[in-house]
Structure 1
Amino acid sequence: MKINTALLFLLVSAFVFAQETISFEKATFNHILSKAKKENKIIFLDAYAEWCGPCKLMEKNIFPKDEVKQFYNANFINARIDMEKGEGRDIQKKYGVYSYPTYLFLNGDGEVVYKGMGYLEAPDFLQLGSQAKMIGEGGGGKERFEKGETDPEFLLNTAKLNANIDPEFAKKVSERYFQVRKKKAFTQDELAMLFYFLRSENDPNYKVFVNEKPEILNLLPESSYNQFHTQIKLNTIAENAVDKSKKTINEAKFLDDASKLMSVEDAENYLKILKLNAYRSLENWSGYEKAALENYKNGDGFDAKELMTAAFVFAEKISNPTSLKQAVIWTEKALQQGETPDGNYILARLHLKSGNKEAAKKYATQAVKLAKEKGMDASVPEKLLLEIK
């Protein structure tokens, strides 16, 4: 049989050049997980939003590059899912995706192996994939660390690789690094690692911070060192004042200890922030309610995002009518700084919880309208509208 070589070339070329970008799976998330488990491969998930500019630039400029698509197609099962549509909403909640684009590297059980975010040039995007591949294949260092590895270069690199995906493990690695580190001049990498994981005087690396001060000052102004030291002491005071088991804060102890580092007024302001953060973290909602009312009062002088965060917690967790009215005031003050779908949605939730269906419907409708005008997902306020009706 005579072979038409020209036709064959065209067919082969069409096949090769048809794959113009990373090959993304067209399947459900569960199917992708099953495939990854079956093939023992890592999933690269591009978590994006339709309105996201950097997401579009990655799609246009980076994913089609030969070196990028070849590496990602060879090493991962690739998926690209809109976090504001369909099953993407559940994925967004499960993995806490709040910035776009976010790059999730998952194993077949859906566990996060590595993570990145933002617009990346091709070399950085390839490095991200290489690190994810190494960790996914067991190169993240946990097994080697647990066997007692003390090689400084290994420890430094392992701490870097795991800083975002497993900070508790990375912190332990950094502590061993400074235990075995030989006396020498500090490098920028060492200083960055020390400062990144050091939170209080109760941390093992605090001794390094104090004992190696002369070396640290070769890289850092003494004023910056002292400022960071004061913050460490404050963190320690806050840590010692919070009783996690009882979900309470010993305010008198905090103020007594903190006022030795700063003015009483500054200590009181710091305590307000501590109460908001700690009570929310501890899920002590009555404590959070009291702290928010005390801190925000009528909402004047506060950032819109901060006010809406508190108002949203009230919409979700607080039922006292007087407190809900105050949260309405905060949200209205926030919207004066710029109208947003989120602000109107929160207002709708607050009014509905207070029993004012007419106002709730008004703000939910406005939230839907604004979301659609901005090209954002309107399904959440739309769902609330259905509840109101």
Structure 2
Amino acid sequence: MKSKIVLIFLFTLHILGLNAQGIEFFQGTWKEAMAKAKTEDKLLFVDAFAKWCGPCKSMAKNVFTQQKVGDFFNVNFINLKLDMEEADGVTFGHKYPVSAYPTLFFLDGDGKVIKTVTGGQQPDGLILQGEDALRKNDKSGKFEEKYLAGDRSFDLMLNYIKALNAVGKPSLKISNEYLNSNPAITENQKLSFILEAAVDADSKLFEQVITNKSKIVSITGLKTFEEKCLSACQVAAKKAIEYEMESLLEETIEKAKKTFPDGADVFAAKANMQFYKTFKNENKYISSYKVLAKKSEGDAATLKYIIQDVVKNFKENPKMVADIAAYAEKIYEQVDDVESLNLYCSTLILNKEVDKAIKIVTAAKEKAEKSGQEISNFDGLLNYLNSKKA
């Protein structure tokens, strides 16, 4: 009975919120992760968990996997999961004791604790905790004092802009004033500063980034360059929504193609989805997610992202529901497990194809039974589906 209840819960969970592309966790030791955080001048986010911890499992499955959580944490933090009962976790625990699970740490690159959170979090709550950690790590004040006193040295200005950008404070005006003053800096210094300062693709500074792409890449490396450009294009895409400017979105997509061509198509499809979803242009929204599905070549995580977005915003649209049922079928073909089966059935229910779902689950049950697998989960799902028949 317990397994049936859990299955039905998971089934309902798929309808309410599906897994998408979430937090990318660093693969390595906590000391290596901290060194990376210091090198990249970011905070280190540590999920200190235990395998037996229920809330830890829930966050791993339902929170860290959310698209909006990944978008926020991947840009702002180096992220690490630590099993506190394994060797590396035990070593970490000697320096950072844990009394309950999960415990979430926000540490700077020198190991200073910026913020600690105990207990499971929901997606929006976790993002709020991250935002609070960034605010608490606001270093702009110490640079601002010197700036107001007249210091315009390159290192001071670069660090000041970085600090402002890290906590989302306005920096474009300060950056432009500095560059317009014709500071006595090398070309490489100027280009490094421009890349850091161009936080919005809808700016003259970003035009300079495009013009000097090859030179900047030779200084910063391609990965850093493309990450900065993606972030700037995301800012401009949000502005396009805020001001209802489709032309700005189109311009931003063209800039994306010039600065990170390999990822531009996926960025464009997702940005278009967000724009047309906001303004309820269903036809263009459909075209956008179809492009994304095609560009991703049927990647399961991307298809789940599309399904999640449609279920949340357009589950009454029969055309879209039919599309996501087809995507869920592709996922089930790729990954033949109970979770994918639940997902597929949930979309079939929305598509009013309960009989088809019952047929698929029955076939899966028979296959499991022949191979000697536990079948009570399938019985629970069949009971649920039969209850949904008109």
Instruction: State the TM-score, normalizing by the size of structure 1.
Output: 0.48
Asked which structure has the greater CA Rg, the reply is: 1
TM norm structure 2: 0.48
Larger RCO (CA within 8 A; separation ≥ 6): 2
